[in-house]
Structure 1
Amino acid sequence: MREPEFSARGVEINRRLRSLTRAGEVRIEDGRLALLTSYGSEIDSAPVTAVRAGRPWFAGPDEAVATVNGTRYRLTLHKNGRDGGAADPGGSGGAVGSGAPGDSEASGKSKEPEGAKESGRFLAALKRAAGRR
């Protein structure tokens, strides 16, 4: 079985004002995005080419919004809930530091919260997967 292109666990998934799960999973595998509950039941899924996602102005740094099959979901991706195995075979997917002295990436300290990197990885993985189709 192939390893997913992206997998994040411990994701809070909301639809409108309703929380669907506080410890769900977002997975991109074989050209499909799947939103799963903490028990592994599928909330929704669609081909990555049919999914719209981004980081709107009103969202926190660790949040993303994805429209799957016409339904809008707010995803809160926390770094501490991340699945350690799967994720980014092609690179960081997020912002990369210049390596200059004093650069936050080079010094090991980041200016943005860990969840912001995770949501950036999600958006980059979705873009990469949609580009392959």
Structure 2
Amino acid sequence: MTDSEFSAADVRIERWFRSLTRAGQVIVKDGRLALLTSYGREIDSAPLSAVTARRRWFLGADSAVAYVNGVRYRLTMGQRNRRPGGAVPVGRFLAALRGGEAEATVPYSRRELRTPTP
């Protein structure tokens, strides 16, 4: 796989509060995103230009929200093994959507956001 391609299995895919699958697949390949069920049936797919995704502060570190053709999906990766490194596949997924760029998340505290006073 090149840097801009991504594949993950055992992904919980939800549309709003309805769970579509608990062991689905997310595939980014050839400029397209495909969401598949555990049986390989396509839930939704779109070119990357019609997809936006990001992490939300109120979700777990292993979750992301993706808008595919205007439909909101919640993707939770690493459902079955629930490892502490569940945030790693989400970061790789977001980087693949951006075309292989490194993810620009920097931990900071509230104190660093303030501008210094002279």
TM-score calculated relative to the size of structure 1: 0.68
Match for residue 74 of structure 1? 74
- Asked if the contact 2:22/2:79 (under 8 Å) is kept, the reply is no
Q: 1:15-34 deviations in whole A, cap 9, x for unaligned?
A: 01100000000000110000
Task: In structure 1, list runs of 5 or more residues that go unmatched.
Answer: 82-112
Q: 1:38-65 deviations in whole A, cap 9, x for unaligned?
A: 0000000000111010001111000010
- Asked if the contact 1:79/1:118 (under 8 Å) is kept, the reply is no
Q: Which runs of 4+ in 1 moved over 4 A?
A: none
Cα distance in 2 for partners of 1:69, 1:79 equals 25
Identity %: 63
Match for residue 109 of structure 2? none
Counting matched residue pairs gives 99
Cα distance in 2 for partners of 1:10, 1:40 equals 12
**Match of 1:123, as an amino acid?**
L
**Match of 2:91, as an amino acid?**
G
Match for residue 9 of structure 1? 9
Task: In structure 2, list runs of 5 or more residues that go unmatched.
Answer: 101-118
Q: Which has the larger radius of gyration?
A: 2
Aligned with residue 119 of structure 1, among 90, 104, 108 = 90
Match for residue 41 of structure 2? 41
- Asked if the contact 2:12/2:79 (under 8 Å) is kept, the reply is no
**Match of 1:127, as an amino acid?**
R
1:60 is paired with a residue of what secondary structure? coil
More strand by percentage:
2
Q: CA deviation at 1:80?
A: 6.1
- CA-based RMSD: 2.4
State how 1:60-99 maps to structure 2 within 5 Å: 60-78=60-78
- Asked if the contact 2:66/2:73 (under 8 Å) is kept, the reply is yes
